[in-house]
Chain A
Amino acid sequence: MQTPKFSTSRVVADRDPHSRRRFLRNSGIGLAAAGLFLTGCEDDDDPIRMGDGVNLGTGDIGVLNYAYALEQLEAAFYAAVITGSYYTGSATSEEEDILGDLEAHERAHADFFKAALGSSAIPALEVDFSTIDFTDRASVLGTAQAFEDLGVSAYNGAGRLITNPDYLVVAGKIVSVEARHAAAIRSINSGSPTAFANSQVVDASGLDVARTPSQVLTIASTYITTSIDFSGLPQ
């Protein structure tokens, strides 16, 4: 990591997802200030809000922030699931047990990345789940399946981008749990005895899906409204 160019106080202020935007709006100089801010951000490797978006940063920190972004998405989704009427009403006890565990696991992952990244962590992302019907089993389980499979493919594709062995190990510890989740959700979603690892997700060589950050974030952008600048991630 290069030394961040911004002062600590400025970085901390920007951790609050609303503080800078509110300040800009209140001050009536939003556009001019935002333009200035974007210019000032160039070449900076510190993850920080840029306009209404976030920059993941560079190197391993960037990869960890990428993982943190996905864990935030999953955690926010399951937080909405467990307050929705499908979960509180019609879900079977098996479905409740699984979704309850997944909510806890993804929250644990998000809390971990936030703590591990410390002052380098991206702020809370804004999400839009308006296309998901939290009263409906098929909508909830279908989305859960998509998110879990996406998470597996993201970690599988990101391993090669990591340079610190300790970070790779942690990513490995998490991805297999995401794969366990994906299998369980797929199984209860379809009821088929082969859904957990069928040809949608495992190819003829027995390999799971791996996606690049670009591919993953394009898919995730349906639900994450905060603009994510991942241009600093390792290639």
Chain B
Amino acid sequence: MKLLSVFNQFEALANNETRDKATTRREAFTTLGKTLGKAATIALPLAAFMTPNRVAAQSSGDTVIDVLNFALLLEYLESEYYQTGLSTDSLLTGDTRETIALISQHETAHVEFLKTAINGAGGTAIDKPEFDFTVGGAFDPFGDLPTFMVLAQAFEDTGVRAYKGQAVNLMGNKDVLTAALQIHSVEARHASEIRRMRGSKGWITSDNNTTGVDAIDAVYNGEDNITQLGLDAVSITDVSRDRVTEAYDEPLSKADVTDIAMLFLG
């Protein structure tokens, strides 16, 4: 069954995190400097990392593909969420509709980009699973605009943390890393806009969950961290603690992101 298959693939991704880290760290040291010059590849990241022999130069192509499939699942989720919202009568109107339409366009483009990248690198893109954005009837995002915006905020803030958490696993392939960073900052732009539309700051203060939905506290767990590179980032500045926490977004592990995403798998 398709859904079960995706579920199992995703579980496998989550369970393999420790192995991925070790492999990728080794790759990072052995493949550094073997990628193409920066100017052309920054302009054409997709074309560059689709070249088969560049993938073969890695000690293991699986790790990058695993990460890209993990990203693809989140993009599937976001893309379907916004498309469903946009196709629901009278849910999204005016400026809100324009904003969501642009975000939806980006998420759909991310899905296509990642699928093309995965297939081009010799991997197999996971199929889109079935989602249940009502979480078994607990939420009514397509019947209630405030709920729709709450979940949108949760998905975007989670997306930022998820890409951030995978960056080190992509160090062995600089072109993929650059593309992932370019998606990561777009997710952050989305998050800021959605948050501000809801009346929250565009940035995350401490580990405050401003959605009002306790069930998604996990999206913000750990955002109150103030230790950066072993330094207490509060003690070395006159900036207040709250604002220091706003100044850094924290990563989430694949396992933590998986737990959040699982809530919305049908």
Chain A residues contacting B158 (CB-CB under 8 Å) are none
Report how far A207 CA is from B43 CA in the complex, Å. 11
- Assembled-state Cα–Cα distance A198/B190 (Å): 11
Which chain B positions have C-beta within 8 A of A183?
188-190, 192-193, 202
> Are B247 and A109 in contact, with the CB atoms below 8 A?
yes
B35 / chain A contacts, CB cutoff of 8 Å:
160
Interface-lining segment among A13-21, A30-38, A130-138, A164-172: A164-172
Are A212 and B42 closer than 8 Å at their CB atoms? yes
Q: Which of B98, B174, B185 has the most CB of A within 10 A?
A: B185
Task: Using known A-B contacts A116-B229, A184-B202, A206-B107, determine if residue A194 contacts B99 with beta carbons closer than 8 Å.
Answer: yes
Contact B231 A112 (CB under 8 A): yes
Question: A180's contact among B102, B202, B238, by CB below 8 Å, is which?
Answer: B202
B95 at the interface (CB under 8 A from A): yes
A172/B186 in contact, CB under 8 A: no
Interface contact A208-B202, CB-CB below 8 Å: no
> Given the complex of chains A and B, what is the CA–CA distance between A101 and B35 in angstroms?
39
B240 at the interface (CB under 8 A from A): yes
Whether the Cβ atoms of A205 and B46 lie closer than 8 Å is: yes
Residue of B nearest to A198 (CB): B102
Instruction: For A159, give the chain B residue with the smallest CB separation.
Output: B181
Residues of A within 8 A of B106 (CB): 197, 202, 206
Cross-chain contact A111 with B236 (CB below 8 angstroms): yes
Chain B proximity mask over A129-164: 1 for CB below 8 Å, otherwise 0:
000000000000000000000001001110111110
Q: Does A181 contact B (CB under 8 A)?
A: yes
Could you say which of B109, B110, B168 contacts A169, with CB atoms under 8 Å apart?
B168
Q: What's the interface size class on B, roughly?
A: 35 or more
Does any Cβ of B come within 8 Å of A122's Cβ?
no
Looking at the complex, which one of B182, B229, B239 makes contact with A156 (CB distance below 8 Å)?
B182
| Chain B residues whose C-beta falls within 8 Å of the C-beta of A1 in the assembled complex | none
Residues B113 and A179 in contact, CB atoms below 8 Å apart: no
| A221 located at the interface, meaning its Cβ lies under 8 Å from any Cβ of chain B in the complex | no
Interchain CA distance A178-B154 in the complex, whole Å: 19
How many interface residues does chain A have, given as a range? 35 or more
With CB as the reference atom, state the residue of chain A lying closest to B168: A165
Q: Tell me how far the C-beta of B70 lies from the nearest C-beta in chain A, rounded to whole angstroms.
A: 16
Binds A, one of B7-15, B142-150, B248-256: B248-256
Let me know if B46 and A169 touch, CB within 8 A: no
| Chain B residues within 8 Å of A204, by CB | 109
Question: Residue on A with the closest CB to B237?
Answer: A111
Cα(A155)–Cα(B82), bound, Å:
28
Partner of B249, one of A109, A176, A193: A176
- Select which of A114, A163, A194, A210 is within 8 A of B42 by beta carbon: A210
> Could you tell me if B185 and A176 are in contact, using CB atoms closer than 8 angstroms?
yes
For A108, give its contact among B102, B186, B233 (CB under 8 Å): B233
Residues of A within 8 A of B32 (CB): 163
**Beta-carbon contact of A159 and B167 below 8 Å:** yes
Q: Report the separation of the CA atoms of residues A215 and B35 in the bound assembly, to the nearest whole angstrom.
A: 20
Q: A112-B236, A180-B203 are in contact. Are A208 and B186 (CB under 8 A)?
A: yes
Looking across the interface, which residue of chain A has its beta carbon closest to that of B164? A172
Contact A105 B251 (CB under 8 A): no
Nearest to B161 among chain A residues (CB) is A176
Please indicate the chain A residues that have their CB under 8 angstroms from the CB of B108 in the complex.
206
A-B contact pairs, 10 of them (CB 8 A): A107-B238, A107-B239, A108-B239, A115-B231, A165-B168, A180-B203, A183-B190, A193-B96, A197-B189, A206-B109
The 4 tightest CB contacts between A and B, nearest first, are A206-B109, A179-B188, A111-B237, A176-B188
